Amino acid sequence: MEIRIKIQRFDPERDEAPHWRQYQVGAQPMDRVLDVLHTVRWQHDGGLAFRRSCGHGICGSDAMEINGRNRLACKELVKSLRQPITVAPMRGFRVVKDLMVDMTAFFEKYRAVRPYLMTDDAPPEKERLQSPEQRERYDDTTKCILCGACTTACPSFWANGKFLGPAAIVQAHRFLMDSRDQGAEQRAGVLNDASGVWRCRTIFNCTDACPRGIQVTKAIGDVKKLLVARSASPDGPPARAQRAGGPPSA
């Protein structure tokens, strides 16, 4: 079958502003947008720049705006898309070239929430135990592949690039809700900041955009509630509020 695809092109060394270019290429019925991008690059226009690695929705390299919504190019079947298919880089990031964006600030924010297990007590003899219920609390947010689709679908982020953004908050959620983690205190600073979770306006664009089906807006809501509970408790933040459910019986 023939596919019409419109790609937003921008080469900072040559172009003043981004512009659209349309291509007509042959495709198989089961092709995904990523396959079509390959066809364009390999057969029509070798200068087209985009990122991809795994090609199977795992690495998170190829999030882009497809027909007006953030999607992974490797997960979108062309036959289910209206033509001409429009493909543009994610919003809110500087475009390096064509569909390739600069994600430096995105990963800085990721690091700012300290996305790793933090504990203050001495390591136990064996593993740190956890009940299935406790594991369940953060199961959803373990699925994040850091593609950036949620953050760049967020109007609050478009309006203010300083906003931490859904992706970083999802990563914070992953550890804040973990019964073994004790880093809530250290993470609260960036999250409770003016550029933190409170910039979220409960718009749900992030949830719609997530290629892993994470309930992103709900995760942000959980973090907001945790921060409120911390500041509401009279004798300082409950260091282990997230440990509800009691320790699992060994």
**Interface residue list for ligand FES (CB under 6 A):** 52-55, 57-62, 72, 74
- Does residue 202 belong to the site contacting other proteins (CB under 8 A)? yes
- Does residue 224 belong to the site contacting other proteins (CB under 8 A)? yes
CA distances from 72 to 14, 48, 102, 160, 193 (A): 28, 17, 17, 24, 31
Write out the two tokens for 185.
């205190």
Strand 2-9 relative to strand 63-66, pairing? unpaired
Look up tokens 């990963």; give the residue.
107
Instruction: Look at residues 119, 127, 97 and name the one whose alpha carbon lies nearest to residue 18.
Output: 97
Contact partners, residue 86, CB within 8 Å, separation at least 6: 5, 6, 7, 8, 20, 65, 66, 67, 68
Task: Give backbone dihedrals phi and psi of 101, rounded to 5 degrees, phi first.
Answer: -115, 160
Question: What CA–CA distance (Å, rounded) separates 239 from 34?
Answer: 46
- Residue 201 interacts, among other proteins, ligand FES, none and using kind-specific CB cut-offs from 5 to 8 Å, with other proteins
CB of 48 to ligand FES, least distance (A): 15
Interface region with other proteins, contact rule CB under 8 A, candidates 52-60, 85-93, 114-122, 167-175: 85-93
Whether the CB-CB separation of 62 and 74 falls below 8 Å is answered with yes
- Does residue 69 belong to the site contacting other proteins (CB under 8 A)? yes
Question: What CA–CA distance (Å, rounded) separates 92 from 118?
Answer: 31
Interface region with other proteins, contact rule CB under 8 A, candidates 50-58, 94-102, 188-196, 210-218: 210-218
Write out the two tokens for 101.
């964006």
Cβ distance to ligand FES smaller for residue 193 or 208: 208
Cβ distance to ligand FES smaller for residue 90 or 184: 90
Cβ distance to ligand FES smaller for residue 97 or 187: 97
- Residue 104 interacts, among ligand FES, other proteins, none and using kind-specific CB cut-offs from 5 to 8 Å, with none
- Residue 91 interacts, among other proteins, ligand FES, none and using kind-specific CB cut-offs from 5 to 8 Å, with other proteins
Query: Binding residues for other proteins, per CB under 8 A?
Result: 65, 67-69, 86, 88, 91, 153, 155, 201-205, 207-208, 215, 217-218, 221-222, 224-225
